Structure formats: structure tokens, C-alpha cells
Chain A
Amino acid sequence: MEWVRNFLRYRAANTFLVFIGLVIFFSLLTPNYLFVDRRNLAALGKLFPDLGVVALGVGVLMICGEFDLSVSSVLPFCSYVFVRLLYRGIAPFWAFWVALGVGALLGLLNGLITVKTKMPSFITTLGTMMFWRGVLYIWSKMMPAGIRNLVPSGSPFERAFAGTVGSFFPVQALWFALFALILGILLHYHRFGNWIYATGDNRDAARAMGINTDLVKTICFMIVGVLCGFSACMQAVRIGSFAATQGIGFELRAIAACVVGGTSLRGGVGSMPGIVLGALTIPILDNGLILLRVPVFGISAFIGIATILFVVLNSYVERKTR
């Protein structure tokens, strides 16, 4: 039983168990086993990375001890930048890079405001969230802006962000996996990852050991910004349009995903496997409940219960294993 105990000591283990439980539950109980239907899985694989990619960055940021509530504004903002550039006749490839750049810039701003004012990022990014949303609403007049004819279905760019691999596997899920892999290596194998953990776990110690914690935090904010830019373009290409409502609610859902994956709200604790599982669990919960005919507007209630249960479970397991 030694390996069982070792496995359970791993913080992401209970998320993994609950995840498997949910998959089995939904597989067996949805009408006509709809959950494991090929089309449902394909749709899930297309949709979940929108939030998932953002959540990966938010998780890394939480490990270094900060939050970013502005993702729900940075994302549509980047999307609008992308669409406007397309309208000006810029090739999608370049517009995409500019959108990532804008994401990085807004992330940099979040980081600078947070480390320079020494305010909790919960407040600073609440401010930037409202600010950028206001700017975006004025700039875009909240009108949707279609890009179907600028990024036609079947074009290389469209296939790279909204296509399928081997006629079935949604490419979005591959992007998610790629980012998870890169950030996982960064977090667990690269020296910068150790600085992220140290910064979140004990900032004074990290500083005393010569780590520039302000820089570490700012870079993490920028990672989140870039991922918002990426997700923005991916989503815009999939729905063939900019929508002012893109990304709404992502700020808290991303945090919920990370918490479900065992990331601490106080920083210093969390892992990439956990964050990935969290980013999968929330959409699966969504999807499964919809298939179970739970009214769409009530699903939020279940996500809320699930988040709280996970936090309680995580801290219980933590106390047991220590």
C-alpha cells in the first residue's frame, strides 16, 4: 500500500480521483451515454481550452502569490485588437502576434502597478479589469465584428487555431497541452520555476536569497497576458467574430479551476498537473450537468459547491499527510 500512500500525498491526487469519478459518473448517467459520445468529446475539446489556456497562466501567477482579475477584460481587448488589425488588411499571422504583444503589455502594466504600489493584486487587477472593459466598450461600441471572410474556413490560419487533427481531434486541445507542457517544465524543472515558488511561499526569504521577486511577479503577470492574447485569437477564429462578451466570467472561473487543482490562494503551493486537472474538471462539470439537463443558469451553483468542496478536501488531505 506504500505506493497508494505516496500517490495520495501528491497534492493533485485528490483532484485526479474526483476527475476520474466525474468522468465515470457522467459517462454512465447521461442519457444515451451522451457524455462519451464522439461529438460531445470533440465539442468539449474545442471549447475548454478557451478558459483552460488562461487558467494555466493564472495558476502560475497564483503560485507566485498574485491574482489577475483583469483576464476577463484583457482577453476581449486583445481579441478586438486582433480583429481591428484584420480589418486594416493586416495578415492574420501578424495580427496574432500583435495581439499577443498587447496581452504581454497589459500584463506588464498589471505587474508594474502591483509591485510598485505594493497593493494586493486583487485590487489592482480589479481596477484594470474595469478600466480595460470600459475602454473596450467605448472603442468597439460593443458591436460584434465578424472575421469569417478575413480568416476563411479552411485557410491555414483558421486550421491552426480552430481545425482538427486527423479529422477529429480538435487542435485547441493540442494548444492547451503544449502550453501546459511548456509551463510545467518552467515551473518544475527550470530555475525560474523555483523562483516562482520561492516568491509565493516566502517573499522575504526569496529576496534575501537574491531573487528579484518584483521581476518574477511581473513576468508571471505577462505570461497571463500573453495567454489571454492567445486565447482571444483562438476564440475569435473559432466563433468567426469579435464579441464584447468574450471572456466574461473567466477571471473567477480560472481561479476556481486552479483552486480545484490544488493551488493555494496564499501562494507557494500548486502544480502544473493539478492546474491542468482543474482546468479540465470545471468544463467537464459544466458539460456533464448540461447533458444531465440541469438548467444552464443553475450550473454556476454546482461549480460553486464543487470549488468549496475541493478547498475543504485539499486542506483536509494536507493535514492528514503532514
Chain B
Amino acid sequence: MERQNGELLVRMVNIHKWFGRVYALRGVDFEVYRGETVGLIGDNGAGKSTLIKILSGYHQADQGEIYFEGQRVRISSPRDARKLGIETVYQEQALAPNLSIARNIFMGREPVRRWGIIDRKVMNEESMKALANLGLRLRSPDLPVVTLSGGERQGVAIARALHFKAKLVILDEPTVALSVKEVEEVLEFVRQLQREGISVIFITHNLYHAYDIAERFVVMARGKKMADVKKKDTSPEELSQLVIKSAFAE
């Protein structure tokens, strides 16, 4: 096995971020181990998304360091993050609805023949293969994404991460606005990522969606990390108490 569990993959140290006069992150430490699934939970405005956007290159930290596989790294664009193997699946921002499934999966990394002409055959076959790996059977790689269900769309975005051999997949509220059946579908996709040994950060404010699949939970509130607990040391009730308490604590 090339990937070994238990070794540190990402370490974010003392991350600070201001948006104008808003002090969004106040010295957060955060780490993810190889093959581990971390549930990042907290109320709206707790700083979860900001932290993750720094890791995926959308924002830059005003202060703090990021280490990836032991190396100090500077992630100044989404492109940098992808080069490291960090793939982010945003709620509604991951896919172009009018483009085909295959064109979405290979967006920005199209397989080409000579002179930049897209190799459609490779693109279509690889897309179907990546989806099948997730257990997702779709009629054709040429369907526009807008014709898919919410769960299937998340599947397409996750298939993309899987295909490009991501080391860390960040799922930003992947279960928001999905039906119960679709949520189960998405959780199954995440389990597939786990089986492949890929680290996952699962951001949600629905504790129960994260509880099934995560091994560790990080609770954030008002720009700070309030708790960092292993699943075996806690319970959903305790976690939800933590979220509520830390949101109201002074």
C-alpha cells in the first residue's frame, strides 16, 4: 500500500484571517491524518468555510502556516491546492449545470490529442468508469448535469476527485438540500473514498450526517476551535451540546 494510515497529511498551524474588520479565524490549529475522515462542525459563521477555503486556495491566511505531507506549502490559488491533491466539492459551486457529465469531470484537465483537441473517447470512457467506481450508473456521459438529481450531482463531483487521485477531499455541506435517500447516497460515496484510503473533511451543520462516517470531530465557534474529539470518546448528544454551548459561550 502506497498510502499509509495514521501518518499526518495536512497540518494547519495558528491560522488567522480578517475580512476587513471581521476577525474570522483567531488562531486555529487543524490537522488531518491519512485515510481519516474528519467531521468539521459548527454553526453558521463559525469559521468552518473560511478555514476550508484557505486550505483549498480560495482565501489566503493573514497569518499561520500550512504543512502538507510534512512540507511547508503556500496555497495561493485553487490550482495550487489541486496540484497538491486537495479537491474541494462545494455545495453548488462544483459543477457547470449546462455542461455534460464528462465535461464536468474533466473540467480544466481535459484529455487532449494534438493541438489541444479534446479526446472525447477517452473522456467519456474514463468518466463512466469513475462513476461506476462510486457505484453510480448514469445513462450517458453526454447528459447535462442539470438533468441529474442532487445526489447524483454530488456523485459526479466526488467521482472527479476520485479519478484525479486526490489525497484529501473536502466536502462542503454535501448533504444540504438533499432528500433522505440522496443523503444516504452521498454518504455511500464518502465510504467509497474511505475504502480508497482518501482523507475526507466533511463540513456540515447536520451532526447526524457526519456522525455515521467521521472518525474525529472538530467543533468550531466564532473563529476558534472549541473541541477536537475522537468519535469513540463522544456521542452525538455530547457533540450537539458542545456545538450549542460553544456558540453561546462568552
Write out the residue numbers on chain A whose beta carbons fall within 8 Å of the beta carbon of B56.
208
The answer to whether A322 and B118 touch across the interface, beta carbons within 8 angstroms, is: no
The answer to whether B79 and A210 touch across the interface, beta carbons within 8 angstroms, is: yes
A-B contact pairs, 23 of them (CB 8 A): A189-B117, A190-B118, A191-B110, A191-B112, A191-B117, A194-B106, A194-B118, A197-B99, A198-B96, A201-B96, A201-B97, A201-B99, A202-B97, A204-B90, A206-B107, A208-B94, A209-B78, A209-B107, A210-B77, A210-B79, A210-B109, A268-B99, A322-B146
- Please pick, from A190, A201, A202, A209, the residue contacting B108 in the complex, using a CB distance under 8 A: A209
Query: Which 5 pairs show the lowest CB-CB distances between chains A and B?
Result: A201-B96, A209-B108, A210-B79, A191-B110, A204-B93
Starting from the known contacts A194-B106, A197-B103, A210-B78, 18 additional A-B residue pairs (CB-CB under 8 Å) come to: A189-B117, A191-B117, A191-B118, A197-B96, A198-B99, A198-B107, A204-B90, A205-B90, A205-B107, A208-B58, A208-B78, A208-B90, A208-B93, A210-B77, A210-B82, A211-B108, A268-B97, A322-B147
Q: Does A161 contact B (CB under 8 A)?
A: no
Docked pose: A195 CA to B106 CA in angstroms: 10
CB proximity of B150 to chain A, nearest CB, Å: 15
Q: Does A192 contact B (CB under 8 A)?
A: yes
Docked pose: A190 CA to B116 CA in angstroms: 6
Q: Does B98 contact A (CB under 8 A)?
A: yes
Docked pose: A70 CA to B97 CA in angstroms: 30
Which residue of chain A has its CB nearest to the CB of B79? A210
Docked pose: A211 CA to B108 CA in angstroms: 6
Interfacial residues of chain A within 263-297, with CB under 8 A of chain B in the complex: 268-269
- Please pick, from A190, A202, A207, the residue contacting B95 in the complex, using a CB distance under 8 A: A202
CB proximity of A11 to chain B, nearest CB, Å: 10
CB proximity of A213 to chain B, nearest CB, Å: 10
Which residue of chain B has its CB nearest to the CB of A210? B79
Q: Given A190-B117, A190-B118, A211 and B107 touching (CB < 8 A)?
A: yes
Write out, one digit per residue, whether chain A residues 181-220 have a CB within 8 A of any chain B CB (1) or not (0): 0000100011111110110011011111111000000000
- Please pick, from B78, B96, B116, B118, the residue contacting A202 in the complex, using a CB distance under 8 A: B96
The answer to whether B95 and A205 touch across the interface, beta carbons within 8 angstroms, is: yes
Write out the residue numbers on chain B whose beta carbons fall within 8 Å of the beta carbon of A201.
96-99
Tell me the interface secondary structure of chain B in the complex.
loop
The answer to whether A207 and B78 touch across the interface, beta carbons within 8 angstroms, is: yes
Q: Does B60 contact A (CB under 8 A)?
A: no
B interface residue numbers (CB < 8 A to A): 56, 58, 77-79, 82, 88, 90, 93-99, 103, 106-110, 112, 115-118, 146-147
Q: Given A194-B118, A208-B88, A268 and B98 touching (CB < 8 A)?
A: yes
Write out the residue numbers on chain A whose beta carbons fall within 8 Å of the beta carbon of B117.
185, 189-191
Range for the number of chain A residues in contact with chain B: 20 to 34
The answer to whether B96 and A268 touch across the interface, beta carbons within 8 angstroms, is: yes
Write out the residue numbers on chain A whose beta carbons fall within 8 Å of the beta carbon of B97.
201-202, 268
CB proximity of B140 to chain A, nearest CB, Å: 12
Which residue of chain B has its CB nearest to the CB of A212? B79
The answer to whether B93 and A202 touch across the interface, beta carbons within 8 angstroms, is: yes
Among A209, A210, A211, the most chain B Cβ lie within 10 Å of the Cβ of: A209
Docked pose: A195 CA to B108 CA in angstroms: 7
Which residue of chain B has its CB nearest to the CB of A195? B108
CB proximity of A305 to chain B, nearest CB, Å: 27
CB proximity of A68 to chain B, nearest CB, Å: 21
CB proximity of A120 to chain B, nearest CB, Å: 20
Docked pose: A265 CA to B204 CA in angstroms: 35
Which residue of chain A has its CB nearest to the CB of B105? A209
CB proximity of B81 to chain A, nearest CB, Å: 9
Write out the residue numbers on chain A whose beta carbons fall within 8 Å of the beta carbon of B98.
197, 201, 268-269
Which residue of chain A has its CB nearest to the CB of B120? A189
Q: Given A197-B96, A197-B98, A206 and B116 touching (CB < 8 A)?
A: no
Write out the residue numbers on chain A whose beta carbons fall within 8 Å of the beta carbon of B88.
208
CB proximity of B27 to chain A, nearest CB, Å: 27
Write out the residue numbers on chain B whose beta carbons fall within 8 Å of the beta carbon of A210.
77-79, 82, 108-109
CB proximity of B37 to chain A, nearest CB, Å: 21
CB proximity of A135 to chain B, nearest CB, Å: 37
CB proximity of B107 to chain A, nearest CB, Å: 4
Write out the residue numbers on chain A whose beta carbons fall within 8 Å of the beta carbon of B146.
322
Q: Given A202-B96, A205-B93, A194 and B110 touching (CB < 8 A)?
A: yes
CB proximity of B182 to chain A, nearest CB, Å: 19
Which residue of chain B has its CB nearest to the CB of A188? B118
- Please pick, from B77, B95, B107, the residue contacting A194 in the complex, using a CB distance under 8 A: B107
Write out the residue numbers on chain A whose beta carbons fall within 8 Å of the beta carbon of B96.
197-198, 201-202, 205-206, 268
Docked pose: A185 CA to B113 CA in angstroms: 14
Write out the residue numbers on chain A whose beta carbons fall within 8 Å of the beta carbon of B147.
322
